[in-house]
Structure 1
Amino acid sequence: MSEDEMTGTTTSGTTTTDTTTADGAAGETFEERYRDALLPVFGTPQKVLARGEGVRVWDTDGTEYLDLLAGIAVNTLGHAHPSILAALTKQAGTLGHVSNFFASAPQIELAEKLLALAEAPEGSAVFFANSGSEANEAAFKIARRTGRPRVLALSNSFHGRTMGALALTSKEAYRAPFEPLPGGVEFLPAGDEQALADALAPGDVAAVFAEPVQGEAGVQPLSRDYLLALRRLTREHGTLLVLDEVQTGIGRSGHWFAHQAVEGLQPDVMTLAKGLGGGFPIGAVITYGPEVHDLLQPGQHGTTFGGNPLACAVALAVLGTLLEDDVLAHVRTVGARFTADVLALGDPLISEVRGAGLLLGIGLTAPIAPQLAAAALQAGFIVNAPNPTTLRLAPPLIITQADLDEFVAALPGLLKTAAPEGEN
């Protein structure tokens, strides 16, 4: 299924746990209660999960699963990590929410830490939100403040589901039900330098939005050359380069931010969320340098919950643990080994492994990814099919080589289960 939403019924089984409690009618399952109580925007849930520990979760029937998706690149440190529990408990005992009429020490410390990790120059700043969509909404408003009318995004992009973020998202099926969307957005073919140069030539483009790795497109990395062309051409035309690192940031690629793998590539604006809070909702926008710093003036944007002490304390714990345990080096090592091991299987249904670090897409030679994800779930592995020919893995960054080996060993059998007769 695609993004942080299920967009239809699944092919995997569901639990049938009896939920005869004070909160549910006699004999009613969790699935039935879900159907009756929640809007049907996510389709039918695959399972009802009850608890997690490390890189494993258990459903309400007690079945155990190896979590190779981490809530779609969110649970950086896995489930119930001691550092997150300690930070959350300690902060909840002092300040939980104060509104943005006031500041808090965790908010200031987290902003300073992010600026340092981003290697942002003097005059850079942070705005805290609650999600990736909210972060991209703020970046869109920053672009509007340049006074230029046009904004460029890329084919196969995904920037969120709120109206502004949706206007930057290329998939027609997501956009069409909600048009008219905020205007002025044009889509370019990802990777086409000439199309980029032609679009920027009039000199009236406010910003170009791009994901270093397009996760919802099936884990499709933008090439180093194209990323450098983005930076060079936007700078030449006075256009902001906005890098959406919602899925790729906070160590997911083996670098703090995926663009840092390309020497000389620094955005004007970067958006973050997902892994920053390790499961606690938080998003962030980083502006680079004094020229971008003052585009949004007091009163032109805001948030009630953004930057709240609880979220910031948890994010500080996530960053601190990643630093102390040298997790980024671990991500690079196990990601490279997993890629090599999957390719070494030599299965004709596997064409490639794309991505970076622990954001990986297994390319398939047949459109069986949904069936493969369903077979994996039945076998105790949580993965995702962002499109029919890609299986996506974005596990907790603390996953071990042994955990990944377990999935590699099971993969040939899963492919046989998923493949139509005669395709394997």
Structure 2
Amino acid sequence: MAGVVNIRRDVSDKFYRYKMPRLISKVEGKGNGIKTVIPNMSEIAKALSRPAMFPTKFFGFELGAQVVYDAANDRHIVNGAHDAEKLQMLLDVFIDKFVLCPSCKNPETVLMLTKDEVLIRDCKACGAHLPVDMRHKLAAYIMKNMPETGKKSKKDKKSKKDRGSSDANIPTPAETNSNGSGDEGIAADDEAMLQMEREAAMLPEARADADDEDWAEDTSADAVARRLKDLSVTAKLIDGDADGDDGDDAGDDPIDQMVAFLRESPDASAKDISAKAKEIGLRDYKVGVALAVTLLDDKVLAEKQIEKHAKVLAQFAKNEKGQKALLGGIERLVGVEHPALLPKVAIVLKALYDQDVVEEEVFLAWGEKASKKYVDRKISKEIRAKAEPFLNWLREADEDEDEDEDEDDE
């Protein structure tokens, strides 16, 4: 038995009520394959009221090491050899930064995300609402993986790869071992994409009425000119849309300015993009529209551009509004800029899903109704029709999850 320690190890009172298991570490393998297993991380995380991947990812960030969750044995793994005391000391830092209330130093806190995209510790003991260290890389990871209250989040649903285990059991690409572990289910994933392509190819084109022209097929100069005109017009409507914002001057549209900036500065960092958005009066969550049509092109799948730019895309798609704006940019990408991509829109959307850029619930809400906010309504209908195989895949996965939950309850 490893015993228990005070959550605040600087408190020596043996009657201190907040306890957690002492961290256990086991070094396995050798050479380049050496790794440290933390077999009781789940118990520690439960005592801290945090998902087990949060402290594990913290270790990875602090040590500059990849981390993996071994679902079969419920073990959290950090690449490299690290002794228990070293990890315990890092855990103390995690607790101080992301668990303890800065005001009363009580661990009875809940992580919450404010409307201003600030991660705070809501203390149930003293009532303080104080932010975590937003400069730490873990803050961004937590914001992308916030546990939802009252319903399952995408992270808790079936695996994106094989739907046979929860998403928490599958490492992200950055968390996968160099020896290839974590690749299980890739073949099944490829098959799912091929099936989506086959289904999309058989879908009839969505039409507003029988006399409407088919924009997805018309690539004449006049049709392209109409699309570009539509792109410019819809861009000018975005800042005066249903969100209640006032429209911008027709000749000085922030979206157009951001597109121009990104094309002139293709290597701009997220910080540079945010600064430019502030300078031109464009809200961060609307930057996704410009990102989609500048960072991605007709080689989006062949060159895995979504995987390449996932980090910056996610930076501006932290909430539902940002993710919807990014999907609006995708509509422009496949419906206006590169209509040849329309038959493959289901695969493009799945790439966004696999990279955790857009949440499942946002995809499903987006798929319910066509909109003329970003493209012509008729194109919007066509895009959703071609996306139906992917949307059906998500719906079926939800149904399977619900059935599994019912069986578990019984």
**How does the TM-score come out when normalised to structure 1?**
0.28
- After TM superposition, the score normalised by the length of structure 2 is 0.29
Q: Higher relative contact order by CA 8 Å / sep ≥ 6: 1 or 2?
A: 1
Larger strand proportion of the pair: 1
Max Rg structure = 2
